[in-house]
């Protein structure tokens, strides 16, 4: 199973994988109950075939697990067959299928020699049919199930238990393939949600880059042209070089002021607006956002810092976590962001984002982070040094 996927897919994959393995392991026992086979009695009468059947069940479960791992590696876009149909609802085939076929052949050979119970052969065939049917096209699987029911009826007679065994196999195969289809659908939705979060971060970066280009691009172009003109005037000892050089300096100072204004506006946005924007951004990736307090609870002189923390903290949650629950708390003492879906070890290492945040907060404020299981907390305290609020 891939480790870079989201939590929803991980949980659903584990559920589906163990369901498939459980079906392969338990189905033969259910068939045995339908046929009224007493395992100790069967073992006493045919120890070799009974032991082989037990090994076939174990090998079948192992083969199903291998197939689930290979299937997960191809989700959500599995290969297509020669008719262009996606192999969403069936597991990939490999040599591990021989682990289900070989014991059936051995039990069949023993039965022909008169050394095994016919019911053991039917149970072995039910496991073989189920294992193959969930890996091939559904039409072939249906044919195999019908053939199994017919063979069981020929071997044991038209007993009600034989029909019930066939019905059990018929129900098991499409149910298992439906579980695989649902798991693939969850994987696609999970990948789409992660892509949406990445797009949201990319859009914010593009917005700032566009604003920065609009503010500074024209001035820098003018400075480049003016600088070349000054160089030419100096080479000709033209006195107008002094005047143009002063213009270059003035344009540079004006451009610097505009850039500072842009950055200041980016970092110190209106707190109420930033709170709504951060909540909307997190909810766009299907995270449940709970807000305690509001923008008016934060002192005016800390509103810019709180807005900047919300912007940076929300972006970091999208980049480094897989959140489903986010709690934002605002108050006179500070602001706290708590999110789940934080992967990694308990030991925390501050990246450039947190380091830059700590540096910009100043000495009067304090930043602390902690991870408790899958929960990550970012806590900012205003006036942590004891200053007057």
Structure tokens given for 152: 């069981």
Q: Supply 53's token pair.
A: 């059947």
Q: Residue 59: how many CA atoms within 13 Å on its side-chain side?
A: 19
Residues of the chain with CATH 1.20.5: 197-267
* Mean pLDDT confidence for 36-41: 74
Looking at residue 277, its pLDDT comes to: 79
**245 pLDDT above the threshold of 60:** yes
What stretches of the chain show up as alpha helix (H) in DSSP?
A: 7-35, 39-45, 47-74, 98-112, 118-133, 138-156, 160-235, 240-267, 271-283, 300-320, 352-361
pLDDT digits (tens, 9 = 90+) for 42-66: 777 777 777 887 887 888 788 888 8
Picking from 344, 332, 330, 324, the residue whose alpha carbon sits closest to that of residue 378 is 330
Q: What is the mean pLDDT of residues 355-361?
A: 71
Query: Both tokens of residue 146?
Result: 């019908």
More confident residue, 103 or 21: 21
Residue 151 above 60 pLDDT? yes
Class of domain 271-381: alpha beta
Q: What is the pLDDT of residue 389?
A: 37
Average pLDDT over residues 80-103: 61
Q: Is residue 15 pLDDT above 50, yes or no?
A: yes
Start-end of CATH 3.30.565.10 domains in the chain: 271-381
Query: Mean pLDDT highest for which of 69-83, 110-124, 323-337?
Result: 323-337
Q: Model pTM greater than 0.85?
A: no
Q: Residue 252 pLDDT more than 80?
A: yes
pLDDT at 367 exceeding the cut of 80: yes
74 contacts 92 by C-beta, under 8 angstroms: yes
51 phi, psi to nearest 5 deg: -65, -40
Characterise 153 by phi-psi region: left (phi > 0), alpha (psi -120 to 50), beta (else).
alpha
Single out the residue of 123, 138, 146 nearest to residue 35, CA to CA: 123
pLDDT in tens, 324-356: 899 999 999 999 999 998 776 666 666 666 776
Q: Say if CB 23 and CB 130 are below 8 A apart.
A: yes
Q: Which CATH class is domain 197-267?
A: mainly alpha
């Amino acid at each position: 199973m891939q480790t870079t996927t989201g939590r929803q897919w991980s949980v659903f994959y584990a559920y589906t994988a163990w369901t498939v393995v459980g079906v392969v392991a338990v189905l033969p026992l259910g068939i045995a109950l339908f046929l009224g086979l007493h395992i100790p009695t069967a073992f006493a009468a045919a120890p070799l075939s009974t032991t082989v059947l037990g090994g076939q069940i174990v090998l079948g479960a192992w083969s199903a697990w291998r197939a689930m791992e290979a299937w997960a590696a191809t989700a959500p876009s599995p290969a297509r067959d020669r008719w262009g149909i996606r192999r969403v609802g069936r597991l990939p085939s490999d040599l591990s299928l021989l682990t289900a076929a070989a014991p059936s052949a051995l039990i069949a050979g023993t039965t022909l020699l008169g050394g095994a119970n016919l019911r053991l052969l039917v149970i072995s065939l039910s496991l073989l049919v189920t294992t193959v049917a969930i890996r091939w096209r559904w039409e072939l699987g249906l044919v195999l199930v019908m053939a199994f029911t017919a063979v069981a009826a020929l071997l044991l007679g038209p007993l009600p238990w034989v029909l019930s065994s066939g019905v059990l196999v018929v129900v098991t195969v499409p149910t298992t393939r439906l579980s695989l289809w649902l798991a693939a659908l969850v994987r696609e939705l999970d990948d789409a949600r992660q892509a949406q979060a990445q797009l949201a971060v990319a859009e914010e970066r593009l917005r700032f880059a566009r604003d920065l280009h609009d503010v500074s691009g024209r001035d820098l172009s003018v400075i480049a042209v003016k600088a070349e003109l000054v160089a030419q005037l100096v080479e000709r000892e033209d006195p107008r070089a002094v005047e143009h050089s002063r213009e270059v300096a003035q344009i540079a100072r004006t451009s610097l002021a505009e850039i500072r204004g842009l950055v200041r506006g980016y970092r110190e946005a209106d707190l109420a607006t930033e709170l709504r924007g951060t909540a909307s951004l997190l909810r766009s990736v299907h995270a449940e956002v709970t807000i305690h307090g509001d923008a008016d609870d934060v002192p005016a002189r800390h509103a810019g810092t709180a807005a900047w923390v919300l912007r940076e903290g929300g972006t970091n949650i999208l980049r480094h976590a897989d959140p489903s629950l986010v709690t934002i708390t605002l108050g006179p003492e500070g602001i706290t962001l708590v999110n789940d879906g934080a992967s990694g070890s308990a030991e925390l290492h501050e990246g450039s984002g947190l380091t830059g945040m700590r540096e910009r907060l100043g000495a009067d404020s304090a930043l602390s982070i902690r991870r408790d299981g899958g929960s990550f907390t970012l806590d900012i305290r205003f006036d942590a040094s004891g200053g007057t609020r």
